[in-house]
Amino acid sequence: MKRTIVGVVGQSVGATEEQIKAAERVGRLLAKRNVVVVCGGRNIGIMDAVAKGVEEEGGICVGILPEEDLSQASRHLTIPIPTGMGYARNRIVALASDALIVVGGGVGTLTEVSYAYLQGKPIVVIKGLGSICEQYIGKYLDSKKITKLMGADSPEEAVEIVMKILEGNSGDMFFLQ
């Protein structure tokens, strides 16, 4: 049986304490639900924080690293995967995930969100954490109108929205803002 996989993406360099706490919380909550977490795998920012949260709950966190080696890998990862692909690895993060949770982030995060969007995957942005993606909450990214980005007020709400959608109990969740 396939396990649910949720990607957690967001701020790397310069992540705030609020973003770090939110990412750790998301990691813990997903691990408690037996969800496999995928992230960018590095030892900084949201990648490191979500991996730490997952590890604290005994879950599985897969890191898709941009480097060819493990020199920048988070020590909290369960499975580090070096790719040597640089930012191109963002596509793997998005495609491997059943849904994405966004915790802050800039243009790199937006690329992951764009790849997930093109595949029609649910995308939940935690509000108030400075993500470039916040401006798209309740909207489509383009005229293709594939899937609206959803907003959540907390890590708990973000995980709840994603899980309801993935479990098929979404109701009107796609239209939350």
Render pLDDT for 133-153 as a digit per residue (tens, 0 to 9): 999 999 999 999 999 999 999
pTM of the model: 0.94
Domain of residue 86: give its range. 5-175
Task: Please tell me what DSSP assigns to residue 135.
Answer: G
CATH number for the domain including 85?
3.40.50.450
98 backbone dihedrals φ, ψ, rounded to 5°: -80, -25
For the chain, the domain total comes to 1
State the Cα–Cα distance between residues 163 and 165, nearest whole angstrom: 5
CA distances from 72 to 76, 89, 163 (A): 12, 14, 30
Report pLDDT digits (tens) over 1-46.
789 999 999 999 999 999 999 999 999 999 999 999 999 999 999 9
Beta carbons of 108 and 15 less than 8 angstroms apart: no
State the Cα–Cα distance between residues 133 and 99, nearest whole angstrom: 15
Residue found under tokens 């239209």: 175
